[in-house]
């Protein structure tokens, strides 16, 4: 594979699909948090960071392919997006394994409870009322997988698409 080989419609569409996948994952977890009331743990928040970093990169990759910027820019951004998704998937594997008891989770896991805190008294009452979630206990399971398990599947799927665009041959621009 020639990393500097011309890019085209495949890379542009791939970048947009990867962006959409990343945005959908973030919208889903934000919905579970803000509508469903699930408080994220430390590892949950860490799994979101690659999505936040990757979304603007995928928009730049789409523009790069559309405007005919150097192929190394477009392909490089797609590959970076794929690597970010592999990272989030690996954190998801770690958390899933801790949830299933296959290995210990982090000892410092916890999250600050959400809500508006305007004074120290409110902060202390929230700390007493709300227990930070543990990284080694699944908040819930759907079809046998926890949120971390679903993130593994999402991360691997999005990574595969990103690598397809990063390493794939260009087709005609439309």
Structural domain spans, the chain: 9-100+120-167
Confidence of residue 2 (pLDDT cuts 50, 70, 90): low
Quick: pLDDT tens for 96-149.
Answer: 999 888 988 888 875 444 555 566 666 666 555 556 678 887 777 788 889 899
Could you write out the DSSP letters of every residue in 16-52? Answer: HHHHHHHHHHHHHHHHHHHTT-PPP-HHHHHHHHHHH
Q: Which residues share a beta bridge with 145?
A: 142
pTM of this prediction?
0.82
Confidence of residue 174 (pLDDT cuts 50, 70, 90): very low
Quick: pLDDT tens for 44-100.
Answer: 899 999 999 999 999 999 999 999 889 899 999 999 999 999 999 999 999 999 988
């Amino acid at each position: 594979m020639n990393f500097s080989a011309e890019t085209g419609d495949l890379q542009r569409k791939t970048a947009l699909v990867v962006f959409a996948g990343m945005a959908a994952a973030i919208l889903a977890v934000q919905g579970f948090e803000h509508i469903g009331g699930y408080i994220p743990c430390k590892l949950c928040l860490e799994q979101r960071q690659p999505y936040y970093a990757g979304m603007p990169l995928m928009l730049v990759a789409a523009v790069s392919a559309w405007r005919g910027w150097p192929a190394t820019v477009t392909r490089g951004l797609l590959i970076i997006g794929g690597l970010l998704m592999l990272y989030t998937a690996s954190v998801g594997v770690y958390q899933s394994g801790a949830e299933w008891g296959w290995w210990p989770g982090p000892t410092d896991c916890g999250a600050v409870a959400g809500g508006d805190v305007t004074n120290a008294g409110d902060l202390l009452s929230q700390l007493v009322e709300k227990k930070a979630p543990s990284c080694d206990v699944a908040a819930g399971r759907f079809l046998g997988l926890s949120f971390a398990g679903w993130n593994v599947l999402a991360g691997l799927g999005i990574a595969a698409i990103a690598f397809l665009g990063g390493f794939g041959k260009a087709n005609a621009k439309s």
